[in-house]
Amino acid sequence: AQKVTQAQTEISVVEKEDVTLDCVYETRDTTYYLFWYKQPPSGELVFLIRRNSFDEQNEISGRYSWNFQKSTSSFNFTITASQVVDSAVYFCALSEAGRNTDKLIFGTGTRLQVFP
Amino acid sequence: DGGITQSPKYLFRKEGQNVTLSCEQNLNHDAMYWYRQDPGQGLRLIYYSQIVNDFQKGDIAEGYSVSREKKESFPLTVTSAQKNPTAFYLCAIQTDRDTEAFFGQGTRLTVV
């Protein structure tokens, strides 16, 4: 079965600390796509990154970096030098090829609180 | 302005009432989705529609209904049959599985 696990329910850090959000997925597909979304207090989900199953190259975007490892079925997200504005709920998601459509399977989210 | 618009932002429902949540998009996407978010449970798919006049049940469709009479509109009705409707509802569009989904700002529904 397709599944996404975010074992960390809540993480609290102090500004400027580095923090890693874990994501482990399960899928029978050989081709699949993984996503990270940020949900600030306003509620809207903001897209952060997309990764396909054939591209295991790590990616860095400013203070954000992602580590994709097929061998461990993980797609972890690291924020370097965290800031208060990073406080949000972060979701990892897997794109599933359904019978009639493609849908996203979400993890339960990790709430990140960054304190000044 | 392009995007997805959900309304209202907050909605209160009395027990036994049906309420309809609006989702409108002007991005000309065919596929639209409704997700429900509960604390600690992530997002779960309620209904989706690939084309006009067609829609399919998601994982938690019981107590909900939808329509897709126009490409740009995909309203969700929370019926009185939905026993626990208090939640945050998000509408989304997604072109293909390899593209990101775009979400509306959500509607927070509370039963009073």
State the Cα–Cα distance between residues B109 and B112, nearest whole angstrom.
10
Confidence band of A30 (pLDDT split at 50, 70, 90)? confident
With pLDDT > 90 as the criterion, what percentage of chain A qualifies?
70
Partners of residue B56 in chain A, C-beta under 8 Å: 100-101
CA dist list (Å): B18 to A60, A82, B45 = 46, 44, 20
Q: Are B73 and B18 spatial neighbours (Cβ–Cβ below 8 Å)?
A: no
pLDDT of residue A104: 86
Cα distance from B1 to chain A (closest Cα, Å)? 17
Q: Do B97 and A9 touch (CB under 8 A)?
A: no
State the Cα–Cα distance between residues A103 and B97, nearest whole angstrom.
7
pLDDT tens by residue, A50-80? 998 888 888 888 999 999 999 999 999 999 9
Of residues B94 and B98, the one with the higher pLDDT is B94
Q: Are A90 and A36 spatial neighbours (Cβ–Cβ below 8 Å)?
A: yes
CB pairs under 8 A between A and B: 64
Q: Tell me the average pLDDT across B28-37.
A: 93
pLDDT tens by residue, A82-102? 999 999 999 999 987 655 556
State the Cα–Cα distance between residues B108 and B112, nearest whole angstrom.
13
Looking at residue B63, what DSSP letter applies? Answer: T
pLDDT of residue A101: 58
pLDDT of residue B75: 98
